[in-house]
Structure 1
Amino acid sequence: MSFDTAARFLIAVSLIVLCAHVTGSVLRLLRQPRVVGEIAGGLLIGPTAVGALWPDGHAAVFTPDVIRAVDLMAQLGLVFFVFLLGAELRVDRRDGWWGLLARLVAGALLVPFALGAVLGIATGERLAGAGVPQPAFVLFLGLALSITALPVLGRILVEYGLQHTRLGVLALTTAALGDGAAWAGLLLILAGVGAAGGGWLGLVPAAALGVVLVAVVRPLLRTLFRASGGGTGRTHLLAPAVIAGLMICAALSQMAGMHMAIGAFLFGLVMPRDLPHLEQFTASFRGFTMVVLLPLFFASIGLRMSLPELFGQASAVWLFCLVVAVAIGSKYGGTMAGAMLAGLPRRDAFVLGTLMNCRGVTELVVASVGLQHGLINELGFTVLVLVALVTTALTGPTLIMLRNSDESGTLDGPAGEAPRGAVTGAGAELGR
């Protein structure tokens, strides 16, 4: 019987999917968001857990060729997941909307960024990549701690029934705007260190991509949807055309010096919102993405991690604890300050701080980009991945505690009550 690379890859995929969803189900029983278990399952499949307990079996399945194949599939899963989030995001503006969000985004982004930058200066070379300029590392660490995981936040809001509430949609919109600014900042950092091909000129194709998407791609998508009846059977070209456009947009984003997830999210945003059957169309992509592709992304992170480097020395453990404390404290403090300056009650501000503290997938992506371009070292990568897991894991229990202490049991006050400038509409319908 031949045990070639293809057979190894199929076995690896089956192990990854089973591990992610079993751990997700177990942690869901423990009242954790399912996505926390899926991320943990991806980490367990790596050398730290399964590789340590059964090194011969792990090495036999996860050969270098298989790991490369898993990594490529993981990037495909990330592209589809972020596209779905952008395609299903709904925002309705009201009076004062921009003023409210400006305060929230400023607090949730700038305070963690500033304190993260100070932490970057204080940690010196412990987390920085070899030879990276200190300003680039300092800015990168500040940006990494200011992240909120827009994809994971969308899933948590659905799992806790908050996707249609005023605070849920407000948090999702704030995270979208904040992460958009964070990705723009990451592009500037990469351009500054010469990682975004062409240096600062890498910003030109990035801006051009956005213009083309709005001015050309969106009208074409609208025409295609109408001609196909929303994918209800008149043509078989709609799904292939959308997939091809998504792949091209993600590839152009990558080539322009951004991460491919930026292009995928932007492509999702320009999907027409006022046409029938859009939800049924995106649902056709959602199942396979959530069940198979996204766990592969978590596993690709786990296969590159090794916890002994962190927990093998006391100083590294204390450094990790310091980074976690700064990440959590700055996010709560900044978000609550922005919310209260916008006129929201203290309790609503605390709920928003809890939601914005979720870093999840976005932090994993940013950490991967930083490691790939030498902005952080292996220890820095491990620390940021664990920060993403810890902060995301804290979100669920804190929400439960807040809901149990709320007389209405909704975390959002009486139905119909909304703050000045509230955002309404549906959140991302992901991860059901």
Structure 2
Amino acid sequence: MVSVEPERPAPSPAGSAKGPVRRTVLLRLAGGLVVLAAVAAAFGFELPAGGTGKLDPVAPFLLAVAVIVFVSHLLGTVLERLHQPPVLGEILGGLLLGPSVLTSLWPGASKWLFTPTVVSALGTVAQLGLVTFMFLLGCELGRGGVRTSRGVVALVSIGAIGLPFLGGAGLALVGGDALAGDSPNRGAYVVFFGLALSITALPVLARVLLDLGIEGTRIGTLALASAASGDGLIWLALTVVLGLSGGVSVITTAGIGVALALITMLWVRPALAAMVRAAEKQAFAGRFLLPVLLVGALGYAAVTHLMGLHPAIGAFLFGAVVPREVPVVEDLKRQLQGFVIMVLLPLFFAGIGLTTSVGLIGGSIAHWGLFVAVLLTAVATKFAGVVGFARLASLPRRDAWRLGALMNCRGVTELVVAAIGYQHHLISALGLTMLVLVALITTAATRPLIHLMGLPIDE
């Protein structure tokens, strides 16, 4: 099973004792947080640090982190009880703390909580969360296809990428100045927007399949395998696009990418495999391997950043060559997932939320029309591509439509891609906002669409 999200207990039945207990705990936590914020507002933020007359930035940063983690997981719990992936609520938590809601409704609180110093610190920590998440995502690449025909996976992947890419590239040309960032390379912007609409969120898709109880079925396995192979191609293409947006020639970008890939496959991958085999024989294997994997992921992230690419690319590449199905490695990844999912990713979502503002669409009919066009294009082209090519692969019509609904799940991966495009000035703040909303809506619609099409799904 593919998942970079830790297992969460299923929601308790309404009549059980756990439900009221959980609500009581959440209410107490909320009350404690309010009291803590009130005390900090009344005293803490006015105390100088070390007699310098300047505010110590540690306390505001820690308070902001506490608020972000609490709000994100509170909404995650609420969304989970509504039979949605918890990560959807965590993303919404980040949006609620940004200009879309908090700044609009209570600007004083937003300014007090998210000072420039705090925002800068959050951005740095969020990058660490993003890099670690991409490492974990790379570790899961390639799973799920063992029991599925490679030919069918290839056809479905082509359909899932091809039509959405063409639709996104066409919209990028139509959207023009509204969606494009400051990058002078308009070709890179057009290609990037096509890739952004082509993505499928592998980790969230895995969680949806698990919640539906269809992760081991033919459709579930095919969806995971197609999402993994398709996203791998998209990240490869995104590497080239980022190189072009940085002013690097195609030949140079390709040369750097090929050299790094060859070094990784021919030297790093065998070295990691040998290291894991040796460590398995030692009682302290976990204590030794976890730092090695983290250092490798962060080192690769730094190398690709120095190359002019995004650090997430390097972390993803390193994760892709980590040995799979090894008990000690799987245990280490589960340990790492807990902290990443519970703390670091909410900070990344908050960073997206502080940049995203639904108000950018505002009352402009043109902006709303463009957003509707982006959403409909994303959904329709993904359905058309997946269903059409699944039918070419001789899948039954009903299964092909179910597969289209599953592959429309964009989730966290869409946010990661959108954030990278915004950081590289390929898309504007309005373009970022639209892609974030597309990710939220398509992810929220996945499970209801599957139920609408009828369950159970046959093996």
TM-score of the two chains, using structure 1 as the length reference = 0.87
1:186 matches 2:186: no
Q: Which has the higher helix share?
A: 2
Shift of 1:294: 1.0
1:216 and 2:267 matched: yes
For 2:334, the equivalent position in structure 1 comes to 283
Work out the CA distance in 2 between the residues paired with 1:231 and 1:209. 31
SS at match of 1:118: helix
User: Which structure has the bigger radius of gyration?
Assistant: 2
Residue type of the partner of 2:343?
V
1:329 corresponds in structure 2 to 380
Counterpart selection for 2:165 from 113, 128, 132: 113
The 1:135/1:243 distance shift into structure 2, 3 A limit, reads closer
Separation in 2, partners of 1:72, 1:159: 33
Instruction: Give 2:355's aligned amino acid.
Output: R
1:307 aligned onto 2:358? yes
Report how far residue 357 of structure 1 moved: 0.7
3-state SS of 2:99 partner:
coil
Contact 2:85–2:204 at 8 Å: present in 1 too? no
Contact 2:145–2:222 (Cα < 8 Å) also in 1: no
Query: Is the 1:130–1:377 Cα contact (8 Å) retained in structure 2?
Result: yes
Q: Distance in 2 between matches of 1:100 and 1:72?
A: 41
Partner residue, 2:442: 391
8 Å Cα contact 1:150/1:362 also seen in 2: yes
- Structure 1: distance between partners of 2:309 and 2:221: 27
AA partner of residue 248 (structure 1): G
Please tell me whether the aligned partners of residues 358 and 433 of structure 2 are also in contact (alpha carbons under 8 angstroms). yes
Match of 1:15 in 2: 67
SS of the residue 2:177 aligns to: coil
Closer/same/farther in 2, CA of residues 51 and 379 from structure 1, 3 Å limit: same
Q: Relative to structure 1, is the Cα distance of residues 257 and 151 closer, same or farther in structure 2, using a 3 angstrom cutoff? A: farther
SS of the residue 1:311 aligns to: coil
Q: What is the one-letter code of the residue matched to 1:262?
A: I
> How far 1:231 sits from its partner (Å)?
7.2
Q: Which runs of 5+ in 2 are unaligned?
A: 1-43, 48-54
SS in 2 for 1:47: coil
Kindly state the Cα deviation for residue 282 of structure 1 after the two structures are TM-superposed.
Answer: 1.3
1:67-115 Cα distance to aligned partner (Å, 9 max, x none) = 1211121121122222223324534546x83311221111110111112
Structure 2 residue aligned with 1:358, among 397, 409, 419?
409
**Which residue in the other structure is 2:427 paired with?**
376
Contact kept? 2:137, 2:316, Cα under 8 Å: yes
Amino acid at match of 1:386: L
Contact preservation (8 Å) 2:179, 2:431: yes
- Residue 360 of structure 1 deviates from its aligned partner by 1.7
Coordinate RMSD, CA, aligned: 2.2
CA contact (8 A) 2:242 2:310 kept: no
Task: Kindly state the Cα deviation for residue 142 of structure 1 after the two structures are TM-superposed.
Answer: 1.6
Q: Distance in 2 between matches of 1:153 and 1:321?
A: 24
Which amino acid in 2 is paired with 1:28?
E
Give CA-to-partner distance per residue, 1:385-428, whole Å, 9 cap, x none.
Answer: 111111111112212333xx23xx2x2x04xxxxxxxxxxxxxx
Match of 2:128 in 1: 76
1:126 & 1:234 partners in 2: Cα distance? Answer: 52
Distance verdict in 2 for CA 1:234–1:179, change over 3 Å: closer
CA deviation map 1:213-272 (0-9, x unaligned):
222222222222233227743573221111111111122233334332232222222112
Quick one: structure 1 residues 380 and 109, their matched pair in 2 at CA, closer, same or farther if it must change by over 3 Å? Answer: same
Quick check: 2:305–2:311 contact (8 Å CA) kept in 1?
yes
CA gap 1:198/1:113 in 2 versus in 1, 3 angstroms: closer
Q: Which amino acid aligns with 1:346?
A: R
2:119 is aligned with 1:67: yes
The aligned counterpart of 2:226 is 174
Q: Which has the higher contact order (CA 8 A, sep 6+)?
A: 1
CA distance in 2, matches of 1:280, 1:235: 8
> Which residue of the partner structure matches residue 17 of structure 2?
none
The correspondence of residues 19-98 of structure 1 with structure 2, limited to 5 A, is 19-89=71-141, 90-91=143-144, 93=146, 97-98=149-150
The aligned residue for residue 424 of structure 1 is: none
Secondary structure of 2:299's aligned partner: helix
What letter matches 1:183 in structure 2? W
Instruction: Choose which of 198, 202, 215 in structure 2 pairs with 1:146.
Output: 198
1:136–1:217 Cα change, 3 Å: closer
Gaps of 5+ in 1: 415-432
Is the 8 Å Cα contact of residues 196 and 256 (structure 1) preserved in structure 2? no
CA distance in 2, matches of 1:200, 1:8: 47
Distance 1:235 1:378 in 2: 42
- Judged with a 3 Å threshold, the aligned counterparts in structure 2 of structure 1 residues 11 and 124 are, in CA distance, closer, same or farther, namely same
Q: How many residues align?
A: 406
CA-CA distance at 1:201 after TM superposition:
0.8
Alignment deviations for residues 328-379 of structure 1 (CA, whole Å, 9 cap, x no partner): 0000110111111111111111121111111122221222222222222221
